[in-house]
Amino acid sequence: MPTIDADRLLKDLYAVREIGKYKTGVHRPTYSADDVKARHWLAERFADAGLEASIDGIGNVYGRDPRPGRKLLTGSHIETQNHAGWLDGILGLIYGLETARTLKTGIDVAAFADEEGHFASFVGSRSFCGLLTEQEMDVCANRETGQPLRDALRQAGFSGRPRQQVDVARYRGYMEAHIEQGADLEDHHLRIGVVTGIVGSKRYRIAFQGQQNHAGTTRMAVRKDAGMALVKFLAAVYETFPKIANPRTVWTAGDIKLDPGAPSIVPGKAELIFQWRDTDQATLDRMDEAFHGLLAEANKGPCTATIAYSGLTVPAIMDPTLQAAIAESARKHAPGLAQAMPSGAGHDAQILSQVLPSSMLFVPSIGGISHHWTENTRDEDIVLGCQVFADAAESVLATV
Amino acid sequence: MPTIDADRLLKDLYAVREIGKYKTGVHRPTYSADDVKARHWLAERFADAGLEASIDGIGNVYGRDPRPGRKLLTGSHIETQNHAGWLDGILGLIYGLETARTLKTGIDVAAFADEEGHFASFVGSRSFCGLLTEQEMDVCANRETGQPLRDALRQAGFSGRPRQQVDVARYRGYMEAHIEQGADLEDHHLRIGVVTGIVGSKRYRIAFQGQQNHAGTTRMAVRKDAGMALVKFLAAVYETFPKIANPRTVWTAGDIKLDPGAPSIVPGKAELIFQWRDTDQATLDRMDEAFHGLLAEANKGPCTATIAYSGLTVPAIMDPTLQAAIAESARKHAPGLAQAMPSGAGHDAQILSQVLPSSMLFVPSIGGISHHWTENTRDEDIVLGCQVFADAAESVLATV
């Protein structure tokens, strides 16, 4: 049975936390100076561990075991949301690295660029799986700054390099560890989550068009208040969705913008970003139907509501054999303290699962907090998670 | 009967439209370079008309008739909302100027700074009426840029100058002309509005505090979604207000902000700017009671809703004698084409009415559009309004 080096594991996590440190968290948006620094730091750690290290044309950091034989691919992402947590992404990478160091052979590690979607969804893992075209790269831009992806890659020093693609025959499968980013493990006093599937999602940006006017002189009867139309529509969604959702379905209006957004001006335009997630495709579809019905209702009012953007990801099922290996390892190291559970968040594993048997292991998030600099996990949970991960990885490689 | 010079009137309006021109409108925020330029331009026009012209320590442009005898004060404002209309404010000033030129004696004109509230409400007219303290000036800052008022005045070249205050004994009253900024005159095919009163208002900024979290992993049951709390509260207000309002009461959510405003993050904070207006104080109060009741309801949910800012203006009644003079003049020049009406917008006249008998005349706004660069009024309505204004002014002065 492999035994990981807990001090070495934590020391690496503490070290990378210093790159882009923000309060007790980190700020490393994709291709920012600190993100690039972290990628080079990680490549050096891969090389130290005896892996062939490279950074490719999309910024993926790849560490390949040069020895012969089939391998297990491990990975996650290294960039963060803005001013976010210190473990989101990097935990899975350092687990992979520590597992490679512990098992000595059979483990590759990949840091997939921009899982956090500063430019687009899963750019790095899609590139690795052959699901990202050059044409899409031409039009991708930073969602906040508008900087084109190509520009950002040039600035980062990665443009012109080839993009690594997965050699499916090389791998037994893909295993990714991650913080839970929810409070389910903590609430049930558990320490390991064995992920059964990753939720799919529907995402919409809805634009409401009304008539900008003076907030004192325009009578209510003749107004076309785009903000009011948005609020009434969203309140109707909030009224309807609980009636047709599953217990674990989630829905979120992450942003609302009124234009021009002045106290004494009736908003002439308004924009809503809305999404929902579930592991069950039929549930996703049922809610989509209701959403469109409410949108049609909204369009009977004085304003028009149109879909400015829509996107979706389909639910991803995790591989049963890999799940069983993680569950078995958890039984050894934390008997009675693991559970099977879905992932409410999206992860690179949902992309990898399209080309490789894939699986995920969760460790608890304190208070369920995530995407915020106060995100944290107890050191003993970090260490236990890695031990379970390494042991599961060894057993997966043993069955080849 | 005085006859105004229509060409001279329109020529002046066209000239000032060039200062800060934006499409067919203008962009002259208070104390901006273009606003300062416009103030100097106006002072020159006052001097050309034989008035003693000055710009004081708050940026008010004052034109005083040097001849003896009681006077009628006319005025309005010269700055604009951002990228807004070419007539909002300046129309009343050029009417005053043209009336001074036509009547030769008895007319003073004042351009009150920042009626549009880039720094605070009615800074210039309150200063003129002795209702603005030095202490308030110390803390006022630009609502968009945060630039302190004192800084802006220094940059504009106005700081250190004394602030002119009204000599109440000098004036028979105050008369202000303005575009309607609504579509009531147009809808009824009328050309002159005689303002009976100016609406009072209640204004609130409400801060919702929840818990920022991951939009995929945080179950609905344990969420504290500040944006959802805001939307449900506002939808309840939209449900309740129509039942307790008067036909002319108006209410507006001019801005909503979710924090951090990202697609996949449950908003931890949200902010709402909300106001309502009516000429009836009892109606304003009745709605205030309902608003607070709904706020208390909102506070039973998972988030807290607190009042971050509240403000009010009381309804202002226009002077009956001055109203009668305007109505009589309208009967002469546009028989059957005038109506008595409230003002849904705030105006300097509501401040002046606290120290002088005050009145307002409205001309139609095409399509009721205002606070937008497409705002407009037909030239013949502009000319007719000024003729009615000048004739009313003469009759008011004659009754002294």
| Tens digits of residue pLDDT in B103-118 | 999 999 999 999 999 9
pLDDT tens per residue across span A21-50: 999 999 999 999 999 999 999 999 999 999
Q: Which residues in chain B have Cβ-Cβ distances shorter than 8 Å to A350?
A: none
Adjacent-strand bridge partners of B26: B21, B84
Same domain, B164 and B227: no
* For range B269-284, the mean pLDDT: 96
> In the 8-state DSSP scheme, what is residue B281?
H
| Residue with tokens 């937008």, as numbered in its chain | B372
Residue A278's pLDDT is what? 95
**Strands of chain A, DSSP E:** 21-22, 25-26, 52-55, 61-64, 71-76, 107-111, 171-179, 192-198, 200-209, 213-214, 250-259, 265-266, 269-278, 304-313, 316-317, 338-343, 358-363
- Cβ–Cβ below 8 Å for A213 and B250: no
Q: A382 lies in which domain range?
A: 6-199+315-398
Same domain, B224 and B329: no
In the structure, what pLDDT confidence band is assigned to residue A370 with cuts at 50, 70 and 90? confident
Same domain, B156 and B264: no
Least confident of A22-36, A93-107, A361-375: A361-375
By CA distance, what is B241's nearest residue in A?
A: A220
By CA distance, what is A235's nearest residue in B?
A: B232
Judge whether residue A217 has pLDDT over 90: no
Query: Is A347 domain-assigned?
Result: yes
CA dist list (Å): A133 to A128, A136, A266, A347, B364:
11, 5, 43, 20, 57
Residue from the list B181, B231, B258 with its beta carbon closest to the beta carbon of A217: B181
Query: Is B79 domain-assigned?
Result: yes
* For range A153-157, the mean pLDDT: 98
CA dist., res. B62 & res. A19, Å (int)? 60
Measuring CA to CA, which residue among A33, A37, A100 is closest to residue A389? A100
In the structure, what pLDDT confidence band is assigned to residue B1 with cuts at 50, 70 and 90? confident
Judge whether residue B300 has pLDDT over 90: yes
Mutate to test the interface with B, among A214, A257, A259, A376 (most CBs of B within 10 A): A214
Q: Which residues in chain A have Cβ-Cβ distances shorter than 8 Å to B208?
A: none
Mutate to test the interface with B, among A80, A219, A232, A252 (most CBs of B within 10 A): A252
Judge whether residue B347 has pLDDT over 70: yes
| Residue with tokens 């308030």, as numbered in its chain | B136
Q: What is the mean pLDDT of chain A?
A: 96
Query: Is A278 domain-assigned?
Result: yes
Measuring CA to CA, which residue among A266, A334, A373 is closest to residue B182? A266
pLDDT tens per residue across span A226-267: 999 999 999 999 999 999 999 999 999 999 999 999 998 999
- Cβ–Cβ below 8 Å for B345 and A117: no
Same domain, A39 and A116: yes
Write the CATH number for B178.
3.40.630.10
Residue pair B82/B119 in contact by the 8 Å Cβ criterion: no
* For range B5-15, the mean pLDDT: 98
Same domain, A34 and A150: yes
| Interface predicted TM-score (ipTM) of this complex, two decimals | 0.78
Residue A128 sits at φ, ψ, to 5 deg, of -65, -35
Q: What is the CA radius of gyration of chain A?
A: 23
In the structure, what pLDDT confidence band is assigned to residue B400 with cuts at 50, 70 and 90? low
Residue A277's pLDDT is what? 96
- Cβ–Cβ below 8 Å for A216 and B262: no
From B265, B287, B313, give the residue that closes a domain: B313
Residue B260's pLDDT is what? 95
Residue A399's pLDDT is what? 86
Residue A110's pLDDT is what? 98
- Cβ–Cβ below 8 Å for B370 and A345: no
Same domain, A228 and A329: no
Specify the pairing of strand B107-111 against strand B71-76: parallel
- Cβ–Cβ below 8 Å for B216 and A181: yes
3-state secondary structure at position A355: coil
Same domain, A146 and A242: no
Q: What is the CA radius of gyration of chain B?
A: 23
By CA distance, what is A362's nearest residue in B?
A: B217
Query: Is A236 domain-assigned?
Result: yes
Q: How much helix, strand and coil, in percent to the nearest 5, is found in chain B?
A: 40, 25, 35
Query: Is A74 domain-assigned?
Result: yes
Mutate to test the interface with A, among B27, B371, B374 (most CBs of A within 10 A): B371
The separation between the first and the last C-alpha atoms of chain B, rounded to the nearest angstrom, is 17
CB atoms within 10 A of CB B7: 9
Residue from the list A220, A231, A242 with its beta carbon closest to the beta carbon of B235: A231
Same domain, A296 and A335: no
- Cβ–Cβ below 8 Å for B262 and A255: yes
pTM: 0.77
In the structure, what pLDDT confidence band is assigned to residue B239 with cuts at 50, 70 and 90? very high
Residue A206 sits at φ, ψ, to 5 deg, of -110, 130
From B257, B288, B313, give the residue that closes a domain: B313
Q: Which residues in chain B have Cβ-Cβ distances shorter than 8 Å to A180?
A: 217
- Cβ–Cβ below 8 Å for B368 and A215: no
Residue from the list A222, A268, A368 with its beta carbon closest to the beta carbon of B218: A368
By CA distance, what is A258's nearest residue in B?
A: B255
CA dist., res. B294 & res. A60, Å (int)? 51
Same domain, B59 and B132: yes
- Measured in angstroms, the CA of B263 and the nearest CA of chain A are apart by 4
pLDDT tens per residue across span B153-169: 999 999 999 999 999 99
* For range B275-282, the mean pLDDT: 95
Same domain, A36 and A89: yes
Mutate to test the interface with B, among A184, A201, A217 (most CBs of B within 10 A): A217
- Measured in angstroms, the CA of B81 and the nearest CA of chain A are apart by 10
Query: Is B262 domain-assigned?
Result: yes
- Cβ–Cβ below 8 Å for B372 and A275: no
Residue from the list B218, B254, B261 with its beta carbon closest to the beta carbon of A182: B218
Q: Which residues in chain B have Cβ-Cβ distances shorter than 8 Å to A372?
A: 212-213, 268
Query: Is A1 domain-assigned?
Result: no
Residue A178's pLDDT is what? 98
Same domain, A242 and A228: yes
Query: Is B1 domain-assigned?
Result: no
Judge whether residue B43 has pLDDT over 90: yes
> In the 8-state DSSP scheme, what is residue A125?
H
Judge whether residue B133 has pLDDT over 90: yes
Write the CATH number for B257.
3.30.70.360
- Cβ–Cβ below 8 Å for A258 and B256: yes
| Interface A-B: count of C-beta contacts within 8 A | 214
By CA distance, what is B223's nearest residue in A?
A: A250
By CA distance, what is B279's nearest residue in A?
A: A216
B103's tokens: 């009547």
Measuring CA to CA, which residue among B359, B344, B350 is closest to residue B396? B359
Residue from the list B82, B219, B273 with its beta carbon closest to the beta carbon of A250: B219
Judge whether residue B217 has pLDDT over 90: no
Measuring CA to CA, which residue among A224, A230, A218 is closest to residue B249? A218
Judge whether residue A400 has pLDDT over 80: no
- Residues in contact with A169: Cβ distance below 8 Å, sequence separation at least 6, in sequence order: none
Residue from the list A181, A242, A256 with its beta carbon closest to the beta carbon of B227: A256
Q: Which residues in chain A have Cβ-Cβ distances shorter than 8 Å to B219?
A: 182, 184, 247-248, 250, 344
Same domain, B155 and B22: yes
Residue A106's pLDDT is what? 97
Q: What is the mean pLDDT of chain B?
A: 96
- Cβ–Cβ below 8 Å for B253 and A231: yes
Q: What is the DSSP string of B231-256?
A: HHHHHHHHHHHHHHS-TT-EEEEEEE
Number of domains chain A is built from: 2
From A293, A313, A333, give the residue that closes a domain: A313
* For range B48-63, the mean pLDDT: 98
CA dist., res. B369 & res. B183, Å (int)? 8
